[in-house]
Amino acid sequence: MSDSKQAYRQRLGEITEVLRRHGITRGVTPEKLRMILEELGPTFIKLGQIMSMHSDVLPKKYCDELMRLCSDVSPMPFDEVMAVLEEAYGFSPKEIFSEIDKLPLGSASIAQVHKAVLKNGDKVVVKVQRRGIYETMSRDIGLLHRAVRLLPPVSIKGMVDLDMVLDELWHVAQEEMNFLSEASNMERFAANNKNVAFVRTPSLYKQYTTARVLVMEYIDGLRIDDKDGLLAQGYDLDEVGQKLVDNYIKQVMEDGFFHADPHPGNVMVDDGKIIWMDMGMMGRLSAHDREMVGKVVRGIAASDVGVIQEAVLALGEFKEMPDQSRLYEGISNLLAKYGRTDMGQIDVAEVTMSLMEVMKENYIIMPHGLTMLARGLAHMEGVLAKIAPDINMVEIATAHMAGLLFKEKDFKKLLKRGGKTIYKSFYKMLEIPSLAADILEGYLKGQTRVNMDLHASDDLARLLRRLVRNVVMGLWVMALLISSSIICTTDMKPKIMGIPALGALGYLVAFAIVMYVFLKHIFSKK
């Protein structure tokens, strides 16, 4: 028997024994699943952590429990650490480091980190990959694929493509195991935030970094959730919380490249700056996805079911068109629960997870970037609850997108008084041309269906046509008046009698349309 087959059989026996000991045939509760994964070792712990981001696949209670998976595992012996370093460099690590602490700063499922000092005296952190972790995870993924093929048709297998999920998990795990990818992430993140005065990431020592070893600057800061420590050093916790969220919203909405695992151990505060650590797992959102996420935020702010539904359908992937009435009802029920809540009291992570549940019930699969975002938001809410409970991400996100953050000091009061009405009216007005175009396109393609049966007389038909024409004319007038008013507040040239010519032209056209409708109405009655 070959060594590989023997290893497979041995590992299969270990897995079978763990499952038998936990009584897998009697069902799997969230707590039992977490304990099974912890007992199965580093590979399954990492897979469980990745699965916790898949609220579009697993029920929320399972995701919440998997987020509690302990990432601290038994460290590698120090002689193994030195052996990995020597294999990675091709020579003794003593030629690079004058000293390496034998006791690790932390030990996780894929790697562990040690404090060290370079020959030039720089204090650094050395991240060393576990020996044989790639082979171990590859073997375990293979075993899981075999297990999927043995599942009965009545299981979850019929609702979720488990092979696809496992492939995605393996892809994420591979990316995290390649420290050159993490190094690239660090460089990209630093470039994206180079103009943000209160944000930085540890400097990368690229010349000493390989696929299995990462060397970066050592920063002796405070954990973001160390409330007592931050207060002792004179930090304003509300300011820290607001800057933390503002930067995270920037990462998501502007950069489309965000930290996917911002738990307190990966975010520090040092010298008045927020330090983002561990770039092994980063989320990515396309420009289209960011636009739709913005729509969801506006929909929540305005309690607008239609806006949220439109964004969800544009974001999701589905084998067949979902029942839109059922989806609408699900979103309506969600907003009925949160819509009357003051924006300053909305738990954005809870709302996001609830929305993911609605999507899952309607068999809508979210892009991987959004499932990672849901996990990130949960971590952010946890940090805010501890250090700055009065800070709310919905408010900051809304203000950020409007370009008002740190400029309008009373934006919270504004949102409380009339923000929902303002957002709903404004964005409905902006979306009228796009909505009309979508309807027309659908009509031309023969895809538009009207869910009513009208038996109308010729008089009624003429009345409806006149009504539609007048509504369209009214929308044009409203758009012209609003745009012309905005233009008149600027210093645009040329001007006519001190008024921008383009604004004056808009007013004239609006007046002409009004007169046309008025005269048409008068003569139609004769």
Give this prediction's pTM: 0.69
pLDDT computed for residue 196 by the predictor: 94
452's CB contacts (< 8 A; 6+ apart) are none
Is 54 in the same domain as 141? Answer: yes
Is 122 in the same domain as 158? Answer: no
3-state SS string over 402-466?
CCCCCCCCCHHHHHHHHHHHHHHHHHHHHHHHHHHHHHHHHHHCCCCCCCCCCCCCHHHHHHHHH
pLDDT in tens, 409-427: 444 444 444 444 444 554 5
pLDDT computed for residue 144 by the predictor: 77
> Which of 383, 402, 425 is the last residue in one of the domains?
425
Tell me which residue of 254, 289, 257 sits closest to 367, measured CA to CA. Answer: 289
DSSP code of residue 320: S
Is 58 in the same domain as 82? Answer: no
Q: Residue 443 falls within a domain, yes or no? A: no
Q: Residue 304 falls within a domain, yes or no? A: yes
The count of structural domains within the chain is 4
Is 315 in the same domain as 215? Answer: no
Helix (H, G, I), strand (E, B) or coil at 263: coil
pLDDT computed for residue 281 by the predictor: 85
Q: Residue 302 falls within a domain, yes or no? A: yes
Is 203 in the same domain as 270? Answer: yes
| Tokens 């009504």, residue located | 467
> Which of 116, 150, 176 is the last residue in one of the domains?
176
Dihedral class, residue 138 (left if φ above 0, else alpha if ψ from -120 to 50, else beta):
alpha
Residues 82 and 99 sit within 8 Å (Cβ to Cβ):
no
Q: What is the mean pLDDT of residues 464-473?
A: 72
DSSP code of residue 317: B
Q: Residue 151 falls within a domain, yes or no? A: yes
> Regarding predicted confidence, which is higher, 171 or 100?
100
* Nearest-angstrom CA–CA distance, 408 and 325: 39
Is 201 in the same domain as 256? Answer: yes
Q: What is the mean pLDDT of the chain?
A: 79
Q: Residue 448 falls within a domain, yes or no? A: no
Bridge partner residues of 365 (DSSP)? 317
- CA angle 4-8-9, nearest 5°? 120
Helices 368-387 and 287-302, axial angle in degrees (round to 10): 50
pLDDT computed for residue 2 by the predictor: 62
Instruction: Identify the weakest region by mean pLDDT among 306-315, 325-334, 337-346.
Output: 337-346
Q: Residue 437 falls within a domain, yes or no? A: no
Q: Residue 324 falls within a domain, yes or no? A: yes
Is 316 in the same domain as 271? Answer: no
Structure confidence at residue 4 as a pLDDT band (50, 70, 90): low
Neighbours of 138 (CB within 10 A): 14
Q: What Cα–Cα distance (Å) separates residue 288 from each residue in 256, 359, 483?
A: 10, 19, 26
b/e for 395-421, b at 16 or more Cβ within 10 A?
bbbbbbbeeebeeeeebbeebeeebbe
Q: What are phi and psi of 100, to 5 degrees?
A: -135, 125
pLDDT in tens, 263-293: 888 999 999 999 999 998 899 999 888 888 8
Is 99 in the same domain as 53? Answer: no
Is 64 in the same domain as 162? Answer: yes
Is the per-residue pLDDT at 456 higher than 50?
A: no
b/e for 432-470, b at 16 or more Cβ within 10 A?
eeeeeeeeeeeeeeeeeeeeeeeeeeeeeeeeeeeeeee
Q: Residue 169 falls within a domain, yes or no? A: yes
Structure confidence at residue 306 as a pLDDT band (50, 70, 90): confident
Give the domain extent around 14. 3-73+134-176
pLDDT computed for residue 404 by the predictor: 44
Is 122 in the same domain as 169? Answer: no
Is 32 in the same domain as 66? Answer: yes
Please give the single-letter amino acid code of residue 145. H
